[in-house]
Amino acid sequence: MVSDTAPQHLTSENLAMLRGVLRDAGFEHAILPESERQFVAAASLLIKKFQEGLILRDELLLELELQFGKFQNTAAPKVAFMPQQAFQGLLVPGR
């Protein structure tokens, strides 16, 4: 949905929402130079579309997908949570 009154300035809440859109689209980690360029292009596109009045999260995600396709994140997978005792070298009771 395009708003009739497009925001002139981005607030911290706007930026947080746009950051979330980038993260949900797979642009969270820009490790390789190519992905960093894509990240910057995607962020620029989001800001432009937002300032033009496209303010709904799902529509912004769709814009990114239309422009860049499904982003393949090449970052290492996240490690599952480990108990604090594992980091301290202590035995976990019952194991």
pLDDT tens digits, residue range 53-95? 999 999 999 999 999 887 655 554 454 555 555 555 555 555 5
23 within some domain: yes
SS3 28: coil
6 within some domain: no
pLDDT of residue 88: 57
Residues 26 and 74: their CA atoms lie apart, in Å, by 10
Q: How many CB atoms lie within 10 A of CB 26?
A: 20
SS3 54: strand
31 within some domain: yes
Of residues 3 and 11, more confidently modeled: 11
66 within some domain: yes
Domain that holds residue 58: 12-88
Q: What is the pTM of this model?
A: 0.63
| Structural domains of the chain, count | 1
